[in-house]
Amino acid sequence: MRSHLTLGRLFGVPIGINLWVMAVAAVLAVSLAQISLPNIAPDHPRSAYWFAGVVGVAGFLASLVAHEVGHSWVAQRNNVRVREITLWLFGGVAKLEGDADDPGSEFRIALAGPAMSALCSLVLAGAAWGTWRVEGSEVLLGLLVWLSGINAVLAVSNLIPAFPLDGGRILRAVLWRRLGRKIRATRVSALWGQILAGVMAAASVWIMFNFALWSGMWILALSLFLFVAARAEWSGAAPAPELLELTVADLRRDLPAPLGPTGSVADAESRLSAHPGSPFVPLADRRNTITALVTRDGISRIPPAQRVLVPATSIAESLVTLPRVEPGETVRVVLDRLGEGRSWWALVTDGDGGLGALVSSDVDGLMEVVTG
Ligand SMILES: [Zn+2]
């Protein structure tokens, strides 16, 4: 069974409405016409309340659509296609075809909805102020204030940094830019989403028993929905189990042959250019034990003309600080030990005395590519 009706198209995007929203809209119209408006503006004919109630609900649905049109408009400007906009129980959803390709677009698309709601709220507040100034209809004034408030609530509540709410998407975009990794950013913001949903659920129980039973129950339902959504995003962004079972041997990079104690910076440089994937050159002491390493960074600090004269030992870094891993260890074990999301190199000591390097970005990149 189709759970929603298509209302029409706006800028080429179909707008659908979930059947539950129709029920909520009916309840809302009744409560506006029977309770809210008569309280705000008493002593008006019933027909005026009913008319304003229906207009109010239409305005409410239009506010939801406006929020989603904000997202859709910016999405299309950032080359993300919008399949449809659907209104359902907890607001609207703009169904995008895929995600933004870069954190900047993601940030703009996510912010556009709350920005649109804030703009609507201001315009409606301005209209309310104008109505008040010309001493226009009290029912109309009450309606405009109510709609302005609804839009303000839409703007603010969507900015809660709980993925997949807009605020959570903004958080993900910021993390994505900082970490350079979308999947990890999704993991962190979806984890936050779950924590915030938990906090909201606890607060809703408190509200239920101390203030307003129905508002509390509504917030509880919303926080449960949020928790489930955040949980799904979180586990969807988890690295595939088979990747964690890959071994160090699968990911190791070859290192150049160790440089002797008399080698120059130029010697280290030529070994690195013969092994472009290697992050460093190992340095051996007189007993042929690997004790230090020379990095590309270290080499770049010596002016090219002097590299032949400067001994490699002068820019060597101690090996003691470098973690060591075995070729048979799995990615899971290595990540547990060295920490996920950090930047590190590890020395791979093969059984036969051979040397390799494991680079954190290889491990990260692998997970990002396959799960992203
Ligand atoms: Zn939104």
CA nearest neighbour of 269 among 310, 229, 237, 329: 310
| Distance in Å, CA 83 to ligand 1 centroid | 15
Q: Which of 86-95, 120-129, 167-176 has the highest mean pLDDT?
A: 120-129
| Distance in Å, CA 177 to ligand 1 centroid | 21
Kindly state whether residue 144 falls inside one of the protein's structural domains: yes
Residue 128 — pLDDT band, cuts 50, 70, 90? very high
Query: pTM of the prediction?
Result: 0.67
| Distance in Å, CA 348 to ligand 1 centroid | 47
Give me the percent of the chain exceeding a pLDDT of 70: 94
| Whether residues 233 and 219 fall in one domain | yes
| Distance in Å, CA 220 to ligand 1 centroid | 20
Structure tokens at 149: 């408030």
The residues near 121 (Cβ < 8 Å, ≥ 6 apart) are 148, 149, 151, 152, 154, 155
Pairing state between β 13-18 and 4-10: antiparallel
| Whether residues 10 and 135 fall in one domain | yes
| Whether residues 22 and 137 fall in one domain | yes
| Cα 202 to Cα 216: distance, rounded to the nearest angstrom | 10
| Distance in Å, CA 158 to ligand 1 centroid | 6
| Distance in Å, CA 116 to ligand 1 centroid | 9
Kindly state whether residue 174 falls inside one of the protein's structural domains: no
Kindly state whether residue 127 falls inside one of the protein's structural domains: yes
Pairing state between β 345-349 and 324-325: parallel
Average pLDDT over residues 187-202: 92
| Cα 305 to Cα 270: distance, rounded to the nearest angstrom | 14
Residue 149 has a pLDDT of 94
CB contact at 8 A, 348 and 358: yes
DSSP of 66-103: HHHHHHHHHHHHTT--EEEEEEETTEEEEEESS--SSH
| Whether residues 8 and 139 fall in one domain | yes
| Distance in Å, CA 184 to ligand 1 centroid | 22
Average pLDDT over residues 313-334: 82
Residue 353 has a pLDDT of 66
| Whether residues 262 and 194 fall in one domain | no
| Cα 328 to Cα 278: distance, rounded to the nearest angstrom | 20
Domain of 37, in residue numbers? 4-159
Average pLDDT, the chain: 85
| Cα 92 to Cα 61: distance, rounded to the nearest angstrom | 9
Kindly state whether residue 191 falls inside one of the protein's structural domains: yes
The pLDDT tens digits for 134-161 are 887 888 888 999 999 999 999 998 998 8
| Distance in Å, CA 239 to ligand 1 centroid | 28
| Distance in Å, CA 1 to ligand 1 centroid | 27
| Whether residues 247 and 145 fall in one domain | no
Backbone angles phi, psi at 309, to 5 degrees: -90, -30
370 has pLDDT over 50: no
| Distance in Å, CA 106 to ligand 1 centroid | 12
CB contact at 8 A, 344 and 233: no
364 has pLDDT over 80: no
The residues near 320 (Cβ < 8 Å, ≥ 6 apart) are none
Last residue of some domain: 159, 192, 208?
159
Residue 3 has a pLDDT of 61
| Distance in Å, CA 28 to ligand 1 centroid | 21
| Distance in Å, CA 69 to ligand 1 centroid | 9
| Whether residues 110 and 15 fall in one domain | yes
Residue 46 has a pLDDT of 87
| Distance in Å, CA 113 to ligand 1 centroid | 5
| Distance in Å, CA 6 to ligand 1 centroid | 20
Q: Which of 276-290, 303-317, 355-369 has the lowest mean pLDDT?
A: 355-369
For the chain, where are the E strands, in sequence order?
A: 4-10, 13-18, 82-88, 91-96, 253-254, 280-284, 290-295, 317-318, 324-325, 345-349, 355-359
**How many domains does one find in the chain?**
3
Under DSSP, the state recorded for 341 is T
Neighbours of 122 (CB within 10 A): 14
Residue 341 has a pLDDT of 64
Average pLDDT over residues 238-258: 79
Last residue of some domain: 208, 238, 268?
238
Last residue of some domain: 238, 270, 287?
238
Cα angle 181, 93, 58; round to 5? 155
Backbone angles phi, psi at 74, to 5 degrees: -70, -35
Kindly state whether residue 164 falls inside one of the protein's structural domains: no
| Distance in Å, CA 91 to ligand 1 centroid | 9
Residue 83 has a pLDDT of 81
Q: Which of 85-99, 106-120, 172-186, 322-336 has the lowest mean pLDDT?
A: 85-99
CA nearest neighbour of 358 among 343, 372, 347: 347
318 has pLDDT over 70: yes
Structure tokens at 30: 């009744």
| Distance in Å, CA 171 to ligand 1 centroid | 14
| Distance in Å, CA 265 to ligand 1 centroid | 56
| Whether residues 52 and 66 fall in one domain | yes
Average pLDDT over residues 113-117: 96
| Whether residues 258 and 316 fall in one domain | yes
More confident of the two residues 8 and 186: 186
CB contact at 8 A, 113 and 91: no
Residue 43 has a pLDDT of 84
Kindly state whether residue 131 falls inside one of the protein's structural domains: yes
118 has pLDDT over 90: yes
| Whether residues 185 and 143 fall in one domain | no
| Distance in Å, CA 254 to ligand 1 centroid | 48
Residue 113 has a pLDDT of 93
Instruction: Tell me the C-alpha to C-alpha distance, in Å, between residue 236 and each of 106, 172, 175.
Output: 18, 15, 18
Average pLDDT over residues 327-351: 79
| Distance in Å, CA 294 to ligand 1 centroid | 50
| Whether residues 35 and 126 fall in one domain | yes
Kindly state whether residue 153 falls inside one of the protein's structural domains: yes
Kindly state whether residue 359 falls inside one of the protein's structural domains: yes
| Distance in Å, CA 141 to ligand 1 centroid | 27
| Whether residues 260 and 229 fall in one domain | no
88 has pLDDT over 50: yes
The dihedral of CA 184, 111, 18, 31: what is its sign? positive
Q: Which amino acid is at 313?
A: T
372 has pLDDT over 50: no
